[in-house]
Amino acid sequence: MSSFVRVGIKALVAANPQTAAVVLMLCDQPLVTREIIAGLVVAHLETGYSIVDSRYRYGGSFGTAGVVR
């Protein structure tokens, strides 16, 4: 799966060289709201971390959605 992500990011950057980061998420996440995505982007911008991901309320594990630079 990581090779698909790399190919997709390369295509995105080739189409728009000013791309600084991307939001990665699964297609079947109906409970991920625009506020959650906006929070991830804000966390990425404020921390400068190259990867910012979600922490789930139950269990505290990390996962998608996330921001990758």
What pLDDT, in 10s, does the model give residues 20-62?
Answer: 899 888 888 787 888 888 998 999 999 999 888 877 666 665 5
Tell me how far apart the alpha carbons of residues 32 and 64 are, in angstroms, rounded to a whole number: 9
Assign 8 a pLDDT band (cuts: 50, 70, 90): very high
